[in-house]
Amino acid sequence: MNDQDAIRKLIDDRVTAMRNRNGRAAVAGLARDIVAFEVAGPLTAPAAQVTDAVATQAWLNSFDGPIDVDIAELAIHVSGDVGFAHSIHTLRGTHKDGTTLDLRMRSTLGFRKLDGQWKIVHAHTSVPR
């Protein structure tokens, strides 16, 4: 698999993990020291929290049924052991308490190839204010 395809697979695997509400799979592609700028919360989210499979699973478990992630306008740039990607994501799901999530947001991901394996070392997700 070439690097472009490997990065595309990393993105698709996360979407599949969300849909299947699999916390461990959802964080598998993240570097332990990821610098994460998330939609809500502090300017930078703690890496230990972002990569925590148990906390991610708890969040996924708050949904009733699959979480649908649609990725549009995806562009991937890669050279050597560095890459980045940007896209527009639509997240849709229904929480067990009946509230719904329906969010369009911007996603930028930064990648590094570490020991022959591509990892997400930076994630920036936002909605315009």
Tell me which residues touch a second copy (CB under 8 A).
35, 37-44, 73, 75, 77-84, 86, 88, 104-106, 108, 110, 112, 121-122, 124, 126-129
101 CB neighbour count, 10 Å cutoff: 13
Q: Between 58 and 82, whose beta carbon lies closer to a second copy?
A: 82
DSSP string, 21-53: T-HHHHHTTEEEEEEEE-SSSSSSB-HHHHT-H
- The DSSP code for 66 is P
Q: Tokens 């598998």 belong to which residue?
A: 28
Q: Between 66 and 110, whose beta carbon lies closer to a second copy?
A: 110
Q: Between 92 and 106, whose beta carbon lies closer to a second copy?
A: 106
Q: Between 23 and 83, whose beta carbon lies closer to a second copy?
A: 83
DSSP string, 77-90: EEETTEEEEEEEEE
Min. distance of Cβ 101 from a second copy in angstroms?
14
Min. distance of Cβ 8 from a second copy in angstroms?
15
